[in-house]
Amino acid sequence: MTEFLAGFSAVLIRDLRLALRQSADLALVLGFFTIAASLFPFGVGPAPETLARIAPGVIWVLALLSVMLSLDRLFEQDLADGSLEQMVLTPRPLVLTVLAKALAHWLTTGLPLIAITPVIGILLNFPTAGYSTLLIGLALGTPSLSLIGAVGAALTLGARRAGLLIALLVLPLYIPILIFGVTAVDSVLTGFEARAHFLYLAAILVAAIPLAPLAAAAAVRHGVEG
Amino acid sequence: MHRFANPSQFMRVAEAMLPWMVALCIPLMAAGLYFGLWASPADYQQSETVRIMYIHVPSAFLAQGAYIVMALGSASFLIWKHPLGDLIARAAAPIGCIFALICLVTGSLWGKPTWGTYWVWDARLTSMLILFFLFLGYLALANAFDDPARGDKPAAILAVVGIVNIPIIKFSVYFFNTLHQKSTLFGDLFSSGEEAGASGLQQPDIAAAAAQQGSALPPSMLLPLMLMLAAFSVFFLILLVLRLRGELATVRLRALRAGLRAG
């Protein structure tokens, strides 16, 4: 058990260290999130009430897209320099390695996105009453995005036009998270409780933690061999 | 059971059944179209547009059925490494994709006169659209690799992962309060009688009374629907065998070419 944990934390620390050393990548994701959000006032007009109405949906969709655009970081580089093959060859279960990589991905993508969300909220005139719901929803939803994204990233290893292909595979699977995330905020803003939506988001996460790494590990193994 | 996992063994049985399936499909389709288009009454509220149902419901049924076939084939390919499973999944994917498209198009044509709009973001419609996207994703992933055989396993994993959507489609009209009507065919299966017809398309009391007896459809409409469901199912099997023949030929051709190049 302890050696499993040791392997898990070794991969986690390695991936975190790599991500922090290439922090320009991290800044790119946050930059995309901010710039894309600031396009909406130009697109739909700067009227505060219009922006307030679309803000929850815009923030969630952009969070989805930002996570998706950073998915290539999960396995692509490790496959190119051969370290992914070494990870497959180790006696440690590949499922745990994939889980550690997904966690590292969330810590370096999902968490910064959540941290910057209040600023985006101000840009889009997000209603103050919905902030805590939005942040809790993102905290419950973005780990699932990283986990499901890991499956997509693993499946497209070595494919032509992998970046576009990932969008086609992963975005349909992201839709339920988007729906519950946005309806949670909407229900709070219209005076209802968000608890049911949080429970759905949590249920998706609880299902994704064991199942997504299983599928992703099978795909990684095939991707390394091929 | 595993004896038929040999593709050529399987194809021998399938080819022998093919003419029988064609002979079954043509009269079923003809009778279904006759009863559906001429010999059944128009709905008292929706008038003639109700006939869209005889195409819409079978294609929705088969789009989901094709996905299940695809996922089962993929799962058996992943578990037992049966090449037949992969071939069946690859053969079923484009058929299911087109059935899903037909379902979406006929549904939106039906929606315009009855709901007043071509499209609403309702749970059943959205999850059907997601099913269509999953088919597209499967086809894109299976053909995304320079070595065609390399795409088999990723595509199979995707098909198995995507199966979570099937129960969501099935139960979306029960979970969420939506515009799409609940199942009138098996009205009493998942909901109480008064819920089954209360979505506004039928007169609630008639539909509810009928739902308690099993199906909310009158026999004159149930007959063509059942005929069309059977005809579409056999048609799906015919297409599947034809496409399997093609997939098998592709694999053999690839093996021959590889042999030529090596030799």
Note the pLDDT tens digit of each residue in A56-108: 999 999 999 999 999 988 998 899 898 999 999 988 899 999 999 999 999 99
- What does the alpha-carbon distance between residue A149 and residue A155 come to, in Å, rounded to a whole number? 10
Looking at residue B108, which CATH number applies to its domain?
A: 1.20.120
Whether the pLDDT of residue A32 is over 70: the answer is yes
Shortest alpha-carbon distance between residue B108 and chain A (Å): 20
| Token output for B27 | 């009269």
* Burial of residue B169, with CB atoms counted within 10 A of its CB: 0-12 exposed, 13-18 middle, 19 or more buried: buried
Cα→Cα distances A99→A13, A19, A67, A176, Å: 13, 16, 16, 21
Instruction: Note the residue count of chain B.
Output: 263
B146–A169 C-beta distance less than 8 A: no
Contacts of A208 (CB under 8 A, 6+ apart): A143, A144, A147, A148
Contact A155 B126 (CB under 8 A): no
Interface of A with B in 136-175 (CB under 8 A): 151, 155-156, 158-162, 165, 168-169, 171-173, 175
What is the C-alpha to C-alpha distance for residues A70 and B225, in angstroms, rounded to an integer?
48
Q: How far apart are CA A41 and CA A28, in angstroms?
A: 21
| Residues of chain A found within 8 Å of residue B162, distances taken between Cβ atoms | 172-173
Query: Per residue in A146-199, pLDDT tens?
Result: 999 999 999 998 888 888 889 989 998 898 899 889 989 988 888 888 888 999
Of the candidates A168, A175, A226, which has its C-beta nearest B150's C-beta? A226
Residue B113 counted as domain residue = yes
- Calculate what percentage of chain A has a pLDDT beyond 90: 58
- For residue B19, being part of any structural domain is answered with no
Is B210 a member of any domain? Answer: no
Measure the CA–CA gap between A26 and A140, rounded to whole angstroms.
21
For residues A147 and A144, give the distance between their C-alpha atoms in angstroms, rounded to a whole number: 5
For the complex shown, is ipTM > 0.85? no
Alpha-carbon dihedral sign for residues B94, B95, B96, B102: positive
**Domain for residue B59, yes or no?**
yes
Question: Does some domain include residue B124?
Answer: yes
In-domain check, residue B69 = yes
Residue A221 has pLDDT above 50, yes or no: yes
The count of domains in chain B is 1
pTM: 0.81
Residue A111 makes CB contacts below 8 A (sequence gap 6+) with A142
Reduced to 3 states (helix: H, G, I; strand: E, B; else coil), residue B43 is strand
- Contacts with B133 from chain A: Cβ below 8 Å: 168, 171-172
Closest CB from A159, A165, A219 relative to B157:
A219
Using a CB-CB cut-off of 8 Å, the residues of chain B touching A208 are: none
**Residue of chain B with shortest Cα separation from A154:** B154
Q: Which residue of A lies nearest to B79 if distances are taken between CA atoms?
A: A218
Nearest to A159 among B145, B160, B165 (CB): B145
Which of A75, A63, A74 shows the shortest CA–CA distance to A29? A63
pLDDT in tens, B170-222: 776 665 555 676 666 654 334 333 333 334 444 444 444 444 445 667 777 88
Q: Residue B161: which domain range?
A: 27-37+49-180+218-262
B44 is a domain residue: no
Whole-angstrom Cα distance, residue A208 to residue B107? Answer: 32
- Does residue A99 contact residue A8 with C-beta atoms inside 8 Å? yes
Residue B188 lies in a domain: no
CB A140 within 8 A of CB A201: yes
